[in-house]
Structures are given as C-alpha cells and as structure tokens.
C-alpha cells in the first residue's frame, strides 16, 4: 500500500448509528468496543489530501486540521474511515469537555480512534462483514502516526466488558455483530450500553439568575419526539465565565415569546425565557426519572455537528436471542428493503407491529394481494394473491371462486402475527378486496382512486377529492380521504355490505362519469392514457369483484418508504403531496393517539335508490 497523488477523495457516507440497550448482547459473534466521548468523524483520504466530516456531513477539516494532516501520512491510495476524535484525560479516558477546551485553545493534542473502514482504494467495503473490514483496517493503520489509532475490540463477554468499562469510569461500550454489513442508519447490529448518561439535548430556554453579571441560572433542556419538543429538565452546573457569556450572547439572538416545549411544567414556565430550539448541548447525568427528567445533569458543551431536529428520544430496546417480532421469527432481518430510507426487513416488521391496532380493522379476514420485494424495492418485485406452500403459518387463506369456475386459495390475514409475517416474506405492499371473506359477494367499501396525469399538481388532486366528497354527500354518503403514498388520493366510502358488486360498480361508474361529463377539462373516467393528458383519472374500476386497492397504513414499494396514510378532510388542505408520509413519520403519527378515521367503523350506510337512479 502506498500513497498516490492521483487517487480521488472518497465521497461522504452517512454513518451507522447504534441503538440503545439496557445490557450488552451475549455471544461470541458480538465485538465490544469502548464508547468514546468525542466527535464522530468520517475521514476521507485520497490524492494526498485528508478531509473530515461530522456525522451530519459538515466539512470540519479546518477544525481538525491536525488530524487531517496526520491522515495523509498513511501509506495508502484512498480510504474512507469511521471513528471518533477525542481528547484523553490523565487516566486515558476520553472527555468531551476537554475536547471542547482543546478546540478553543488549540494546544491539547487530538486523537482519532478509527473503528471502521467503508472504502479502500476505490473498493466499497460496506457490504463486507465487520470482521473482514476490521482486518483491512488493521493493515491500513499499521505504522500510522500516534494521533491515528485503531479502536480495539473484544469478542464476546459483553457483560464483563461493560462492567470493566464502568469500573474505569468510561461512558459505556458499543457492541457490533461481526458478520454484518455497514448500513447508514440506526440499526440493531450496533448496540450501545451505558454506564452513566451522556447525551445531546436541545436548549429551549433558560431561567434568569439573581446574581449580577450572570446571564442565566440554568438551561431548560428537551428532546424531540417526532416534531414535538418534550421537556427533560434543567441544568445549572458546568459553566465557566466564558461559557456563560458565549451562551448569553447566543440566546439574545434566538429569543421568542412562546415555549417551544409541548409539556414544560407550569412552575418552570412561570420564570422562563424562551429561545428558538436550535442549540444542541452535551449533557452528563446520572439517570432519568420514570417520566424522562434528568437527574444530576451537568453541562459539557455545545455540539455544532448535529442539527437540533436530529436530537430524537431513543427508546431502550430489548434484544431477543433471535430476531423475533410479534412472535414471528425473521430471516435476514438486516436486509435493506427501502434503499433511500435505509430501512430493513426488521424495521418493516416492527412498523407493521406498531401499526397493527390501526391497520387490522381494515385488513383482517378479507382476500388480499401482496407486492413482494424479497431483495428490496430497488430489485425485482412481484404481485402474489394465492397462498403458497412453505409460507408462514400465520398467513391464512380463503377459498375464492375465480372467473373460470375454479376454487383458488387467496391470501388472508387474521391477526398481528399474520401482518408481521408479510414482512418476513418480503411483502411490502398490502392490497385488499372490497369485501370480507364472510361476505365475498357483498362489498363493504367503495373507492374512488384519483390518479393524476404527471402534469397535474397535487393541489388539483386535493380539490378533486373534496369535489368527490361533496358529490357523495348529495347522495347521503360519508367518505374518508387516504393519501396513497404514490401520486393520488383515494376517497373511501364504508358500506354496510347489503348490496352486490354490480350495484356498487354501477354507482361508482355513474359518479365518475358525472364528474367527467360536468368538467371534462379536469376529469376523465376512462383508462385510455391518451385521454388523461392534463386531467385526473377517476378510477372507479377498483369496485368490481376481484379488484384490489392499497390498504390503509400499507407501505409502498418506494425507496423512500412512503405509506398509504388515512388523513382527515380538514388536514388534507395542509398536505403537500401523496407521498409525504413515510414509515418513520407514520410511527410518530401513531404515537399521538388521534385517529383521523376514528368514525369509520361506526358509519352504517348503503347507496340509496334515489342515488342509484340519479347516477345510473
């Protein structure tokens, strides 16, 4: 290996992040490393140059110029490294506070502990197992300068490694599965176990000090849960005079009148001064109370490497010996299904489990079809409607008489295990019949699929959905909107399953035709592509026997992991696209406990004789 001036500088890659666990995993296939208290750094080396990025992709080469210069001394062509830049105290422990001071003063030597290599001499190593990447990294760092060090690991005995780390006063450990690839997201193949709390929090305000010359007495801290900032306590120690003055000057530029927190206690709010929640602070603490408030917090410094919105509350996960979700064992749980969102089969299964309470009332006990993408949505996907031998037992079947008179076994879901089993077989989308298994010939819903031509903007689709709603109201029918996760909107009408397919289909065709005849410049009721230019196709064919439509809360086979999401009519005007809701966003919506379709199941209605005559 030798340095070459012609080697290109590798591009930034977002880092893999560890999930928080209460205790480290067992087994020799886990490698345990020290959890450092510094700045995460992705380092690119190539063409005799070194560049250092923060975890969010900011170029901090100037800030860490000494480390960047030392990296160019490695005898290699090009590489992309992952590690942590730290300052060690007199006991050899990394200290974020000392690192902050070192960056201000510029005298204390910095050390870059490297624990992974993502690219080497133009070869992408991210799909290689960690154990293999470690072997390459050891060779790359052989003979490295003193400031560039290999982060050692210990195989197995995670509980003992953590106990020793805690005895030495370290922050904790990070445990990594030796046979897993590198993924740019938070994963369950990297797990962190902590001795003491040491995390980032957003500053949302402060309390004024009664001491002359001191700009504040304490900072008011929080962390985001989705889009909402939740109060996590106040910190009043860890500040020197320079820090007090610096923070006071920053606060003066960020003042606001209202609290940025959704739940700040009244006694705290009474004397608080609020600021825009943009500053991120590193905070040490002993523990959290049951309601999330920090005990014995101490301020360590500001973090400029992480946007405030990324300070999201982390739930402590419990790892089972196998990858079991809702009683369903997953094979290849770390396989990435949604490339842009970097979400895996495990993430999909956990989403379906979390969404099951909302999703199952619309999905259970009816024939369905799946869009399966076993290798991920970027590769080959296919529809499947029949049950096949070897499928998970939780996936059930229903006998359906097909057009040729033969009886076929269609897929059906009964419960949460069945829903999660969809993820196990790489099922990404769930599409439903308009009737249940018990009453196959009597549809219990009516759907108008508003499918816009690519030249039609989403605002026009929103207007169209409201027009369909209004027309249905004249027929005495209540409807509910669903943004499809693709381009359009479904207007969904619950029915009491008292009418047959021909009746429902005839009515749907009549409504679509009426709209198309009334406003031909906006709507078309025929599938012919040539007639859809600049218009919205009102697809009424979803309402015939055997046709399906995407299920509420079903993910879509899109790289960004968009979701077909039920919304309210009042909310629809604020939504900017049919694909704005993704799996992470829907998970946050589910936590709010407000259901925009809460009245759906209580609606009892059928198509009246007058409506059938009018739309015939």
As a three-state string, the secondary structure of 279-315 is EEEEEEECEECCCCCEECCEEEEECCCCCHHHCECCC
* 503-535 tens-digit pLDDT: 999 999 999 999 999 999 999 998 777 778 899
Give the pairing type, strands 294-295 and 328-329: unpaired
Give the long-range contacts of residues 380-388, CB within 8 A, separation 24 or more. 381/428, 381/557, 384/411, 384/427, 385/410, 385/411, 386/410, 386/411, 387/411
What's the pLDDT at 8?
A: 87
CB 551 within 8 A of CB 352: no
Residue span(s) of the chain under CATH 3.90.920.10 come to 445-614
Residues annotated catalytic, as ranges? 35
Inter-residue contact 133 to 127 (CB < 8 Å): no
Expressed in angstroms, the distance from the first to the final Cα of the chain is 79
Q: Which helix (H) or strand (E) holds 596?
A: none
Question: HEC profile for 457-500?
Answer: CHHHHHHHHHHHHHHHHHCCCCCEEEECCCCCEEEEEECCCCCC
Kindly state the tokens that stand for 334: 């770390």
Measured distance CA(493)–CA(473) in Å, rounded: 11
The segments of the chain whose pLDDT lies below 50 read: 1, 320-321
566, two tokens: 């039920």
- Domain(s) of CATH 3.30.470.30: residues in the chain: 17-189
DSSP letter at 555 equals B
CA atoms within 13 A on the CB side of 148: 26
d(CA 163, CA 558): 44
Phi, psi of 612, deg, nearest 5: -65, -40
Looking only at Cα atoms, what is the longest distance across the chain? 90
Q: How far apart are CA 346 and CA 240, in angstroms?
A: 46
The pLDDT, as a whole number, for residue 169 is 77
Strand locations in 208-248 (E): 218-225, 228-235
What superfamily would CATH give domain 17-189? DNA ligase/mRNA capping enzyme (3.30.470.30)
Here the tokens at position 147 are 């400031």
The strand pairing partners of 80, in sequence order, are 44, 119
Among 444, 544, 543, 548, which Cα is nearest to 497's? 444
Q: What is the pLDDT of residue 365?
A: 95
Spatial contact of 566 and 594, defined as CB atoms under 8 Å apart: no
How far apart are the C-alpha atoms of 524 and 543, rounded to whole Å? 17
Q: How far is it, in rounded angstroms, from Cα 298 to Cα 156?
A: 33
Q: Which of 469, 479, 355 is nearest to 422 (CA)?
A: 355
Q: Which fold has domain 197-310?
A: OB fold (Dihydrolipoamide Acetyltransferase, E2P) (2.40.50)
**Alpha-carbon distances of 20 from 95, 168, 286, 435, 545, rounded to whole Å:** 20, 21, 16, 43, 48
What is the predicted pLDDT for the residue at 321? 45
How far apart CA 92 and CA 95 sit, in angstroms, is 9
* Residues present in the chain in total: 616
CB burial readout 329-356, b (16+ within 10 A) else e = ebeebbbbbbeebbbbbbbbbbbbbbbb
| Contact predicate 578/486, CB 8 Å | yes
CA quadruple 544, 546, 549, 551: dihedral, nearest 10:
130
pLDDT at 176 (0 to 100): 93
Cα gap 201→236, rounded to integer Å: 14
Residue 308 burial by CB count (10 A; 0-12/13-18/19+): exposed, middle or buried? buried
* CA dist., res. 288 & res. 292, Å (int): 5
Half-sphere exposure of 358 (CA within 13 A, CB side): 24
Integer Cα distance of 567 and 582 in angstroms: 14
Question: What pLDDT score was predicted for residue 316?
Answer: 62
Residues 176, 189: Cα–Cα separation, whole Å? 6
For the chain, give every residue range classified as CATH 2.40.50.140.
Answer: 197-310
Given CATH 3.20.20.150, say whether it is the number of domain 445-614: no
Token readout for 322 is 């196998």
Q: Which of 232, 227, 247 is nearest to 201 (CA)?
A: 232
d(CA 546, CA 258): 54
- Bridge partner residues of 282 (DSSP): 200, 301
Closest CA to 511 of 377, 602, 612: 612
Using DSSP's 3-state secondary structure scheme, residue 198 falls into strand
In whole angstroms, give the CA distance from residue 577 to residue 591: 22
Assess contact for 260 and 277: CB atoms under 8 A.
yes
Token pair, residue 574, equals: 């604020």
């Amino acid at each position: 290996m030798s340095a070459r001036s012609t080697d290109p500088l590798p591009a930034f890659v977002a880092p893999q992040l560890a999930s928080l666990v209460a205790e480290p995993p067992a087994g020799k296939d886990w490698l345990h490393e020290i959890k450092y208290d510094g700045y995460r750094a992705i380092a690119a080396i190539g063409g005799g140059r070194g560049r250092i990025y923060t975890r969010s992709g900011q170029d901090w080469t100037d800030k860490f110029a000494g480390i960047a210069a030392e990296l160019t001394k490695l005898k290699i062509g090009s590489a992309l490294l992952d590690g942590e830049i730290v300052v060690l105290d007199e006991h050899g422990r990394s200290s974020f506070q000392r690192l902050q001071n070192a960056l201000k003063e510029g005298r204390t030597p910095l050390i870059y502990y490297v624990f992974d290599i993502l690219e080497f001499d133009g070869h992408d190593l991210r799909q290689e197992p960690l154990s293999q990447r470690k072997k390459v990294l050891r060779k790359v760092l052989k003979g490295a300068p003193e400031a560039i060090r290999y982060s050692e690991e210990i195989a197995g005995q995670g509980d003992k490694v953590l106990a020793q780390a805690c005895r030495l006063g370290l922050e904790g450990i990070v445990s990594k599965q030796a046979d897993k690839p590198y993924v740019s997201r938070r994963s369950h193949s990297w797990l962190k176990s902590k001795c003491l709390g040491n995390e980032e929090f957003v500053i949302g305000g402060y309390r004024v000090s009664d001491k002359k010359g001191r700009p504040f007495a304490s900072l008011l801290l929080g962390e985001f849960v989705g889009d909402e900032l939740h109060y996590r306590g106040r910190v009043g120690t860890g500040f020197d005079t320079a820090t007090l003055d610096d923070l006071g000057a920053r606060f003066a530029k960020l003042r606001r009148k209202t609290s940025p927190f959704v739940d700040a206690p009244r006694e705290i709010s009474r004397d608080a001064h609020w600021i825009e929640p943009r500053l991120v602070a590193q905070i040490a603490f002993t523990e959290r109370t049951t309601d999330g408030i920090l005990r014995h917090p101490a301020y360590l410094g500001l973090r400029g490497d992480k946007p405030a919105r990324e300070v999201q509350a982390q739930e402590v996960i419990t790892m089972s010996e196998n990858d079991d979700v809702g009683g369903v064992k997953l094979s290849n749980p770390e396989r990435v299904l949604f490339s842009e969102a970097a979400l895996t089969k495990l993430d999909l299964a956990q989403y379906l489990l979390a969404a099951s309470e909302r999703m199952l009332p619309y999905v259970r006990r009816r024939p369905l079809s799946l869009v399966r993408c076993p290798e991920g949505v970027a590769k080959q996907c296919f529809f499947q409607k029949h049950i096949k031998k070897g499928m998970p037992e939780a996936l059930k079947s229903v006998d359906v008489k097909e057009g040729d008179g033969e009886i076929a076994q269609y897929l059906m879901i009964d419960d949460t295990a069945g829903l999660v089993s969809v993820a196990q077989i790489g099922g990404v989308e769930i599409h439903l019949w308009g009737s249940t298994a018990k009453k196959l010939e009597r549809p219990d819903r009516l759907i108008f699929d508003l499918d816009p031509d690519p030249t039609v903007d989403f605002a026009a689709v929103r207007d169209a959905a409201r027009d369909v709603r209004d027309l249905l109201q004249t027929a005495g029918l209540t409807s509910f909107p669903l943004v499809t996760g693709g381009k359009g909107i479904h207007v969904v009408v619950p029915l009491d399953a008292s009418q047959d397919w021909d009746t429902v289909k005839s009515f749907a065709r009549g409504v679509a035709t009426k709209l198309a005849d009334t406003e031909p410049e906006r709507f078309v009721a025929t599938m012919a592509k040539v007639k859809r230019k600049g218009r919205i196709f009102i697809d009424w064919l979803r309402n015939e026997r055997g046709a399906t439509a995407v299920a509420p809360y079903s993910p879509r086979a899109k790289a960004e992991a968009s979701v077909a999401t039920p919304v309210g009519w009042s909310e629809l005007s604020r939504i900017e696209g049919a694909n704005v809701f993704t799996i992470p966003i829907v998970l946050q919506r589910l936590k709010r406990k407000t259901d925009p379709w809460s009245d759906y199941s209580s609606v009892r209605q059928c198509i009246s004789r007058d409506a059938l005559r009018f739309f015939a």
